[in-house]
């Protein structure tokens, strides 16, 4: 089948609610700084009531990555479940307006559209509290075989491993993609997500279900249960032909595959405002380069540029035209 899109993302379709918070407010609210925890609707209402001023924006890890890809001029599509309510219609409008193909049918009953309540501390760190809502209705029936077969890269977030139906959808899409000779990428999403599903994630790698892994430093440490970066990197390099991309905040990024390791610096920013979506947009930049045949180093530089744009403001979707920004910095023609 002909490749008609560059990247198909599958993930949780979520509306983000962001609020600035002081560090000492987190323990008072029963929150662990920097973590993502799943909550029910009652807890979501409690935390929302505890928030100060808020910024509301469509989010979801893989959805953010697809929006970033579209801003870079790539052909992107997204599969994720929202309910036919105000938040769900807003999510659908936003992702389509970003230039991403989104045709997953609305859920007409059941839980409301998912939302993530994000407390952002002065250092830009985000503490996320996610009510999955309608995301839990995503299942294998939402995977279109022709769409999955037509993408150069299938990109999925580790958070999909929480709802059983979404996990089944992940595995179905991966099987279709690999059967057509495409690449399958997995973002590890969160160190605590890795703690929950370490053996299964390693199984995806070692059974050759996944070709590409995106992780930050803490997620890599969790995956291999070591506090030493070099030890974790050595283990990653030993995973057959896996392409591993590890972001290290201000220390840049390491791209490893077998015996080869490439490093790229972080792109400088004047002020870190909010790290929400930094990894998502790094993946967007890297995949935009990768799907166009760029070197790992150049793809990583494109990812670093996209990540730098996102951490300079609130919200996890780009406010600038990333393609123009990349051209201005000599990374795209």
* Local confidence pLDDT in tens for the 333 residues of the chain: 677 999 999 999 999 898 999 999 999 999 999 888 889 999 999 999 999 999 888 989 999 999 999 999 999 999 999 999 999 999 999 999 999 999 999 999 999 999 999 999 999 888 999 999 999 999 999 999 999 999 999 999 998 898 889 999 999 999 999 999 999 999 998 898 999 999 999 999 999 999 999 999 999 999 999 999 999 999 999 998 899 999 999 999 999 998 789 999 999 999 998 888 999 999 999 999 999 999 999 999 999 999 999 999 988 899 999 999 999 999 998
Residue 259 lies in a domain: yes
Residue 178, Cβ density class (10 Å: 0-12 exposed, 13-18 middle, ≥19 buried): middle
Specify the pairing of strand 126-131 against strand 151-157. unpaired
Residue 31 lies in a domain: no
List the domain range (segments joined by +) for residue 87: 5-12+59-111+134-327
Residue 125 lies in a domain: no
Residue 262 lies in a domain: yes
Q: Count of domains in the chain? A: 1
> How many C-beta atoms lie closer than 10 Å to residue 6's C-beta?
23
**pLDDT recorded at residue 126:** 86
- Distance CA(18)–CA(27), nearest Å, equals 18
**pLDDT recorded at residue 308:** 96
Residue 251 lies in a domain: yes
- Distance CA(94)–CA(281), nearest Å, equals 16
Residue 37 lies in a domain: no
**pLDDT recorded at residue 1:** 63
CATH number at residue 69: 3.40.1190.20
136-147 burial: b if 16+ Cβ within 10 Å, else e: bbbbeebbbeeb
């Amino acid at each position: 089948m002909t490749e008609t899109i560059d990247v198909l993302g599958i993930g949780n379709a979520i509306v983000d609610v962001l609020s600035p918070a002081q560090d000492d407010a987190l323990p008072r609210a029963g929150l662990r700084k920097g973590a993502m925890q799943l909550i029910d609707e009652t807890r979501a209402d409690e935390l929302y009531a505890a928030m100060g001023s808020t910024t509301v924006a469509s989010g979801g890890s893989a959805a953010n990555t697809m929006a970033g890809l579209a801003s870079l001029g790539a052909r992107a599509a997204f599969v994720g479940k929202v309910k036919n309510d105000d938040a769900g219609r807003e999510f659908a409008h936003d992702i389509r307006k970003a230039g991403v193909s989104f045709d997953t049918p609305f859920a007409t009953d059941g839980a409301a559209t998912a939302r993530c309540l994000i407390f952002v501390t002065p250092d830009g760190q985000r503490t996320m509290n996610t009510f999955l809502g309608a995301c839990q209705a995503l299942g294998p029936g939402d995977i279109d075989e022709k769409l999955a077969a037509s993408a150069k890269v299938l990109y999925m977030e580790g958070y999909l491993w929480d709802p059983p139906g979404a996990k089944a959808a992940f595995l179905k899409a991966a099987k279709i993609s690999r059967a057509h000779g495409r690449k399958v990428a997995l973002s590890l999403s969160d160190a605590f997500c890795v703690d929950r599903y370490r053996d299964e994630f390693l199984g995806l790698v070692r059974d050759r279900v996944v070709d590409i892994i995106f992780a930050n430093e803490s997620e890599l440490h969790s995956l291999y249960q070591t506090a030493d970066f070099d030890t974790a990197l050595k283990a990653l390099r030993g995973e057959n032909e896996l392409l591993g991309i590890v972001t290290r905040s201000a220390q840049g990024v390491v791209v490893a595959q077998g015996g080869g390791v490439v490093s790229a610096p972080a792109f400088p920013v004047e002020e870190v405002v909010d790290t929400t979506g930094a990894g998502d947009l790094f993946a967007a930049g890297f995949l935009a380069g990768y799907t166009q045949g760029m070197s790992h180093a150049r793809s990583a530089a494109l990812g670093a540029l996209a990540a730098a744009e996102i951490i300079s403001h609130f919200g996890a979707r780009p406010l600038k035209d990333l393609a123009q920004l990349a051209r201005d910095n000599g990374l795209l023609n």
